[in-house]
Amino acid sequence: MADGGQTSRGAGKRQQMNADLVRAARAPADLDRLVTTLGGGSFDFNAILAIADILPVMVAYVDADLTYRFLNKPLAEWLELPRRDILGHHMRQVLGDDAFSHREPMVTAALKGERMFFASEFDHRTRGRVAVQTDYVPWADANGRVNGIIILLKDITEERATERALKESEERFRRIANSAPALMWVTRIDRVRDFVNDAYASFLGLSADEARVLDWRSRIHPEDQDRIIAESIAGEASLQPFTLEARYLGTTANIGG
């Protein structure tokens, strides 16, 4: 009989906690930054939790005291911790002092009702240093009081590595291009000039930034302009290698020498 009473009281507490999280709230106005619960009607909270577990999104919820009250299966698996070791614990205990201290200003802002979106690094327990993208979404009641924060997390380590490799490749290209005596430049697919090498800028007698934004057509001999522009447009549209030949005006030093 006593066991049955404890079970009944435990179920009552869970129902009350669920009710607190899904209480009716005002509708957001003007893209309100506070996420509020749905007004009117009801839904199966347990079903929502089950859906959260199968979504390919890492999500958690901490209350106003920054204690974890929920996290879905993808996040627990990513952290490589059982949920029982996270639920009921403060963010500082789960993340560690350094990681929490870095995030604390964003957490404070979220508790004041401001949605915070940022990228940062995190020392994973087995994978080492990883890059994560985090979204702190304030969770407010009908009166606008923030009761906690919904945390959305994305591992962007591979994306960061790809970006870093691309940047290093571009830097290597620029170093090689700037050491070449030939005039070189890069034009994007939208026909905006993205890079000119040192030889190109020197030929024009301009700085690299000035040479990059210069209307190159102004340096083509008037008799060649219409033909070169037409051939350039056609060549770029073909996405194939092409050659242009024209008379190009450089500096006096280049012309004379």
By residue range, what is the domain housing residue 224?
A: 170-256
Q: Give the model confidence (pLDDT) of 166-182 as tens digits.
A: 888 888 988 998 999 98
pLDDT of residue 251: 67
Whether residues 149 and 176 fall in one domain: no
Looking at per-residue confidence, does 193 or 257 come out higher? 193
Q: What is the CATH number of the domain that holds 145?
A: 3.30.450.20
pTM comes to 0.57
Q: Is residue 82 part of a domain?
A: yes
Residues 59 and 139 in one domain: yes
Indicate whether 58 belongs to any domain.
yes
| DSSP-derived secondary structure letter, 220 | B
Looking at the fold, whether 119 and 219 belong to one and the same domain comes out as no
- Residue 183 in any domain: the answer is yes
CA pair distance 43, 23, nearest whole angstrom:
11
What token pair was written down for 78? 């990513």
Chain position carrying tokens 């009761």: 147
Domain membership flag for residue 165: no
Residues 16 and 102 in one domain: yes
- Do 37 and 138 belong to one domain? yes
Residue 144, classed as helix, strand or coil, is coil
Q: What is the pLDDT of residue 5?
A: 44
Three-state DSSP at 241 gives coil
Q: Tell me: do 127 and 180 sit in the same domain.
A: no
Token readout for 197 is 């090498």
Instruction: Identify whether residues 122 and 177 lie together within a single domain.
Output: no
Residues 61-90: pLDDT tens digits?
Answer: 999 999 999 999 999 999 999 999 999 999
- Please report, for residues 10, 17, 40, 243, the alpha-carbon distance to residue 43 in angstroms, rounded to integers and kept in the order given: 21, 14, 10, 66
**pLDDT number for residue 162:** 86
Percent of the chain exceeding pLDDT 90 equals: 35
- In the chain, the number of structural domains is 2
Residues 129 and 216 grouped into a single domain: no
Using 50, 70 and 90 to split pLDDT, how confident is the model at 97? very high
On whether both 119 and 230 belong to a single domain, the answer is: no
Identify the helix (H) or strand (E) that includes residue 255. helix 252-256
- The stretch 38-62 carries a mean pLDDT of 71
- Alpha-carbon gap, residue 208 to 193, rounded angstroms: 12
pLDDT, tens digit, 9 for 90 and up, residues 111-158: 999 999 999 999 998 989 999 999 999 998 888 889 999 999 999 998
Residue 190 lies in a domain: yes
Of the chain, the percentage scoring pLDDT greater than 70 comes to 79
Residue 121 covered by a domain: yes
